[in-house]
Amino acid sequence: MNAIVDKIITGHDLTFNLEFQRDEESGWFVVHIVELPGCVSQGPTIEEAKVNIANALESFMEVLLETAIRSQSAREASIQVESTNRTAKMLVRPKFEVRA
């Protein structure tokens, strides 16, 4: 997973492989991202399944990045740094696109 985080942080494009299966009972399409076990979604059509997996990927990446940031912060907490009284927050919103 660190390779994925590194690519995100450096602004590189990421390409994932999607695997679709049709559920025989419901007729819906189940889709998962091969490189990200657990990143799964579904939809009544392939197009809707693609939209839904893009949303699932965005949530998956948010959690992945938060975990990486917390992990990095925990490692850096033991390093002495000169303190300043300035604080700031930065919101990063990556744009996810589905290209078929």
- The predicted structure's pLDDT at residue 15: 84
In angstroms, the first-to-last Cα distance of the chain is 24
For residue 96, what pLDDT is reported? 57
pLDDT tens profile 75-88: 666 555 555 566 55
The region, left, alpha or beta by phi > 0 then psi within -120 to 50, assigned to residue 20 is beta
Per the model's pLDDT, the better-predicted residue between 99 and 29 turns out to be 29
Six token digits for residue 9: 């942080």
Which tens digit of pLDDT belongs to each residue from 31-70?
A: 999 989 999 999 999 999 999 999 999 899 888 888 888 8
What structural domains and CATH numbers belong to the chain?
A: 2-71 (3.30.160.250)
Residue 99 tokens read as 């290209």
pLDDT recorded at residue 23: 94
What pTM was computed for the model?
Answer: 0.65
For 86, list phi and psi in degrees, rounded to 5: -95, 135
Residue type, 1: M
Report d(CA 100, CA 98) in Å as an integer: 6
